Structure 1
Amino acid sequence: MSAIVLNHSSESRQIPGNDTDQLQGGGAKLISLATGTKSLPVSALPRCNGLVLHDCHAEILALRGLNRWLLSEIECLLRDTGYQSQWLETTHSSADESTSLPPFRFRQGVEISLFSTEAPCGDASMELLMAAAEAAGQDISPWPSRAEHEGRATKNGSGLPLGRGFFSNLSALRRKPARADAELSMSKSCTDKLMLKQFTGLLSFPLDSFIQRTPETFLTRVIVYQDQFSATGYARALGPEGRLRAILAQDEGGACNTARFFEVCTLPSDYQPFEFGKQGGRQEGVRKNKASKFSALWVAGGGGLEVDATVEVLVNGVKQGFKQFDERERKGSVTCRRNMVRKEAELRRLLMERGIAAPVLESGMPCSYSDAKSSPSREHRNSVKQLVLAGLGGWPKEYLRDDFDLDISSSSIQ
């Protein structure tokens, strides 16, 4: 289980209409909460059509929930001129002004925390995996991969990133773990995705065209149980003195100079474990828990519009009750690509109605989702991401994509 929480730092200034005590280090708000351990094989991506979630690991679902909630908070600000958000403020320019800056930003001093009941999969958890396997008397020698069985190269001696096997190969970029005979997934491990967020911030497409990139858009801290923390593993995988040191040194003063590294905090040793997690299943007299094929997602409601919280149960990346590749669009999570773009189009219309300069993605031309993500306004973010990945050995070019057409000028999706 993972959760995203917002709070104001002790240095935050008072916001009109709110209690000072609530803002001085208090007033925390739970934004999203998720469970999940599944990701899609790469062969499924071309059939997703923007409606199927690729990665349902809890940490990633919780982050998608944060992005969805922020879009809803912007909607509250645009629909209700009397609403004042505790978390966002406007930086409006009139529609006839030429501007490349997004029209909103976080209030100064907002902090974002990620809590998770398990260590993130990937490089940060290698020591924990090896210790747990050895304690259980299991063999920790490298697993042969399906790619090797099929004669394809992998980075354990080939061109594909590692999965869970080859524990001793530290500092490597890794794919989401799976059984040795599972079909190939090209979703990056949670460790690697969190590592990249330290360079790009937490705002993903299309939200990043509405909120300015400031220190507040980066993750402040990650909170885990004590037995899910390896000082060596976390420092190597996520810290500036670990595997990223050479990249930062080579790029000193360059594209990576705005990176912000989060702190990792541990809960007290006697903190109650998550009842439905691995730790809860290890308690004496408690039946051992097993990983579920289901994922759950909760996203807080909108503050100004009194919108109810969203609750979804997801199976294979779509809402429970729908087939994975059903043509009905109702199967899509509120956080799927298509629904996020739809919300973006709605907000763009509201901005224009209020005479506020809307962020520019493209030059009014029909394009694909992947084209929009590669627009000039996102060039810095994309170049930094590629620089970091290249410094860690590179990530294979996506040859199968989940893409669909959209028309920025008319805000329609095809």
Structure 2
Amino acid sequence: MTDLGQRVADAVVTAFGKLNVNSGKPTIRLNGVSEWTVLAGLVAIDGDELTVVSIATGVKALPDEVRSFSNGYMVHDMHAEILCLRLFNRYLMEEVKGDCPRLLLESATANTESVTPMYRLGTREGPEEAGKSDTNAGPEHIKNSESQSETYRLKPSMKLALYISEPPCGDASMSHVATGQTAWEEPAQKRQKVIRGRANFGHLGTVRTKPGRADSKLSLSKLCSDKLCLKQYTGILNCITSLRIEPIFLDFLVLDESKHVDADFGRCFHERMLQKPERPLQALTYRHSNFSFLKHPERTPLPVSLAYIAISNTAHVINNGVKNGANAKKPRANGASPLSRRSLWQQAEGHVPTFASYNKLKQANKERQNLKLKARKLLGSWPQTGEDDFRL
């Protein structure tokens, strides 16, 4: 246990406990069965000061088949730690736009000796500005250039810690999972380089896909261990915020000491990569927690996710990839979560370059894309999910 790890855990759990919402927290069902969930929280550390930025709960991932009709309106991975990072990106765009005081970011435009180089915009395919034909145009050549030319960075004094009430699913928690759950073996003819969830505990250091149950529909969304491992190379910004902000990296994962295994953590985040990242994750642990909704064999998982930006005090509930109460079979704009691809784009529109489609936007940062491809290659195998593209 470390003092910092305990302080981070206490800060997240306390903030979650104070959150007054009508729905989204585990409860006792009418049949008397209690619910459990995974809690995650992103905390900014500046000296002795801790600031809880985002909090999320969740254990679900949507089947890959929904991407065919999502049209950017659905959130596909609702695991708590992944939602936390999406919330973080949404909050950062608030700071970029000047919608709130800049507590985490500072201007990097005038700083020519920045420690971390800004991602560069590569070739822009299909620029949307009328009368412009230069496909190599950078941010200075597009609409609203004044609002898009300034870049930002995380304040140098800041460090970021991600608290998770359970070890991240996948390679970082194989020893813990193996002692508490039932493994299953895929038939020999179906075995692939990528393993689903809890299959084949003996295969370590391998990319795995959600969900963990053998009888669930195929997701192809990678387990959280693999996603967090990849972000040691690319950083935790998304394809939108990375157009205005220098790369930002997690410094710490904060985990329950009783469930943390050093060997698993080291293998997952350090040893299985032939080329070590410049900013490797460090593990911090905590020993005591007042979070009362931990996973337990006699409890059932909470089917929804709570997403909360603590700094701006905004919260919503996600159910089956959309806002709680919205139609997940026919997703529409009014039912989209603020964390959906469309919502994140709409929030940033006018403050980042415009492209023909979301996929073109994702590919705009050539340096970021190259880092992703390189890291995926280092991990061995990275199955592609279905397309969820739409016009911008």
TM over 0.5: yes
State how far apart, in whole Å, the 1-side matches of 2:160 and 2:88 are: 10
Quote the offset at 1:247 in angstroms.
3.4
| Aligned pairs for 1:2-401 within 5 A | 2-8=40-46, 10=47, 25-26=48-49, 28-75=50-97, 77=98, 85-92=102-109, 103-133=151-181, 140=183, 142-144=184-186, 153-155=190-192, 160-213=194-247, 217-239=248-270, 242-244=271-273, 246-248=274-276, 259-268=278-287, 271-278=288-295, 281=296, 288-302=298-312, 309-346=313-350, 348=351, 361=353, 366-375=355-364, 378-398=365-385, 400-401=386-387
Structure 2 letter corresponding to 1:403: D
8 Å contact from structure 2 (residues 53, 309) kept in 1: yes
Quote the offset at 1:205 in angstroms.
1.6
State how far apart, in whole Å, the 1-side matches of 2:309 and 2:221 are: 23
State how far apart, in whole Å, the 2-side matches of 1:179 and 1:48 are: 23
Structure 2 letter corresponding to 1:368: S
Structure 1 residue runs of 4 or more that deviate by more than 4 Å after TM superposition: 92-98
State how far apart, in whole Å, the 2-side matches of 1:102 and 1:369 are: 22
* Structure 1 unaligned regions, length at least 5: 11-24, 249-255, 283-287, 303-308, 349-358, 407-414
Quote the offset at 1:172 in angstroms.
0.2
Deviations 1:244-298 (A, max 9, x none): 1x234xxxxxxx6xx3112101102xx13420112xx48xxxxx32212111111
Structure 1 letter corresponding to 2:171: D
Q: CA 1:50 to 1:294, structure 2 compared with 1: closer, same or farther past 3 Å?
A: same
Quote the offset at 1:117 in angstroms.
0.4
8 Å contact from structure 2 (residues 61, 211) kept in 1: no
Bigger RCO (CA 8 Å, 6+ sep):
2
Deviations 1:289-315 (A, max 9, x none): 22121111111344xxxxxx2211111
State how far apart, in whole Å, the 2-side matches of 1:67 and 1:374 are: 18
Number of the residue aligned with 1:305:
none
Quote the offset at 1:232 in angstroms.
0.7
Secondary structure of 2:161 counterpart? strand
Quote the offset at 1:341 in angstroms.
0.5
State how far apart, in whole Å, the 1-side matches of 2:284 and 2:108 are: 33
Deviations 1:350-409 (A, max 9, x none): xxxxxxxxx6x4xx6x5211111111xx112211221222222221344x2111011xxx
8 Å contact from structure 2 (residues 159, 251) kept in 1: yes
Quote the offset at 1:86 in angstroms.
2.9
8 Å contact from structure 1 (residues 101, 212) kept in 2: no
Quote the offset at 1:72 in angstroms.
1.2
Secondary structure of 1:227 counterpart? coil
Structure 2 letter corresponding to 1:7: I
Q: CA 1:232 to 1:329, structure 2 compared with 1: closer, same or farther past 3 Å?
A: same
The percentage of counterpart residues that share the same residue type is 30
8 Å contact from structure 1 (residues 69, 300) kept in 2: no
Q: CA 1:73 to 1:300, structure 2 compared with 1: closer, same or farther past 3 Å?
A: farther
Note the aligned Cα RMSD (angstroms). 2.5
State how far apart, in whole Å, the 2-side matches of 1:221 and 1:108 are: 16
State how far apart, in whole Å, the 2-side matches of 1:66 and 1:228 are: 26
Secondary structure of 1:111 counterpart? strand
State how far apart, in whole Å, the 1-side matches of 2:260 and 2:150 are: 37
Quote the offset at 1:144 in angstroms.
2.9
State how far apart, in whole Å, the 1-side matches of 2:178 and 2:195 are: 19
Larger radius of gyration: 1
Q: CA 1:102 to 1:177, structure 2 compared with 1: closer, same or farther past 3 Å?
A: farther
Structure 1 letter corresponding to 2:185: W
* Structure 2 unaligned regions, length at least 5: 1-38, 111-138
State how far apart, in whole Å, the 1-side matches of 2:63 and 2:331 are: 19
Deviations 1:101-133 (A, max 9, x none): 762111111111100100000011111111224
Quote the offset at 1:207 in angstroms.
0.7
State how far apart, in whole Å, the 2-side matches of 1:326 and 1:43 are: 13
Quote the offset at 1:160 in angstroms.
4.4
8 Å contact from structure 2 (residues 197, 210) kept in 1: yes
State how far apart, in whole Å, the 1-side matches of 2:363 and 2:334 are: 27
State how far apart, in whole Å, the 2-side matches of 1:381 and 1:182 are: 33
Structure 2 letter corresponding to 1:125: S
8 Å contact from structure 1 (residues 46, 401) kept in 2: yes
Q: CA 1:235 to 1:160, structure 2 compared with 1: closer, same or farther past 3 Å?
A: closer
